[in-house]
Structure 1
Amino acid sequence: METDSDVELAVRPAPHPWLVLREHAHLVPMISLGGALGALGRWGLAQAMPHPAGAWAWATLWTNLGGAFLLGLLMSCVLTVWAHTRYVRPLLGVGVLGGFTTFSTAELDTRGLVAAGHPGEALAYVATSVALGLVAIMLGLGLGSALLRRGRPRRVTP
């Protein structure tokens, strides 16, 4: 059996979490600020659209779908326009959108539907959240890419 000399077969251990944190400590304030803003936005939406226990949680669904769409839109910009910036993705992606979206709350809402005797609705809620979340990300990426293409100056050939 022949081995490829360009491929390293040794498995490197993952760095200790404290070393990773120390290396990226300058990002922690940006992520924290963004997370606080995102969580406040999520709280505000939940206050504006309350639901009784064991009922469909529209605020959580709209929060997660909106956050997925915005994440797709943000990623299309981060991968092109802001590719060389250090703080945009940690502030907006990890912080704001990480604090805004809440799949853990969606799981608690699902548990509430099951506990209230609505397992079919619970399954539909999970399927809707995941499927539409993926669609929302793709729509955000597509819209962002289209807007970026539209905004580029066109070459005029003589």
Structure 2
Amino acid sequence: MFGVVRVRARRPFPWAVVLAVALGGALGSVARYGVSLWVGRGGAGFPWGTLAVNVVGCLIIGAVTVLLEEFGNPHRLVRPFVGVGVLGGFTTFSTYVADVGDLLAAQRPVQATVYLFGTVALGVVSVVCGAVSVRALAGRAASRARGGERS
């Protein structure tokens, strides 16, 4: 009739992880802001800066994921710092959605649609390119280390 009561032990709060994400996010956000100043909005108000950071961020995410998962044994804080923090702060898909709304409000439905679907397509292609590039470079380095390629 009376079951066993299980008391769940509390895990300590992961302050180190939170700090790693916060520091990485600060760096990524500053980098994104710098790119937006450098690239600007471009002609006809098209959000080139947002497109650039999202595509570059996706490329880096693909490369870093392969580096960390397949070729490294990183410290436990590297993934939260780089993946969630730096790259999460650098990429800005919330601004991307706001930019689509701005293009629609400016009566530019074709640009809004191209930007909406083009950003996602370029992002996916960029992740794949980043991952494939790192694997190719790692394969080349391994081949050279084995003496397979002569310069």
* Structure 1 and Structure 2 fold alike (TM over 0.5): yes
Report the TM-score when normalising by structure 2.
Answer: 0.83
1:89 aligns with 2:109: no
Q: Give the fraction of aligned pairs with identical amino acids, expressed as a percent.
A: 36
**Structure 2 stretches of 5 or more lacking a match?**
1-7
Q: What secondary structure is seen at the aligned counterpart in 1 of 2:73?
A: coil
Q: Deviations over 1:62-99 (max 9, x none)?
A: 00000000000001101122235312211111111000
Structure 1 position 50, deviation (Å): 2.1
Q: What secondary structure is seen at the aligned counterpart in 1 of 2:103?
A: helix
Q: In 1, distance between residues paired with 2:97 and 2:62?
A: 22
Alignment-mate amino acid for residue 146 of structure 2: R
Relative to its length, the structure with more helix (as a share) is 2
Structure 1 position 20, deviation (Å): 7.6
Identify if the C-alpha distance between structure 1 residues 154 and 29 changes in structure 2 by more than 3 Å, giving closer, same or farther: same
Q: In 2, distance between residues paired with 1:35 and 1:69?
A: 18
Q: Deviations over 1:100-142 (max 9, x none)?
A: 0001001111100000001111010011100010000000000
Alignment partner for residue 34 of structure 2, among 18, 41, 44?
Answer: 44
Aligned pair count reads 138
Alignment partner for residue 132 of structure 1, among 113, 122, 142?
Answer: 122
Q: In 1, distance between residues paired with 2:128 and 2:101?
A: 28
**Structure 1 stretches of 5 or more lacking a match?**
1-14
Report the TM-score when normalising by structure 1.
Answer: 0.79
What RMSD, in angstroms, separates the aligned Cα atoms of the two structures?
2.4
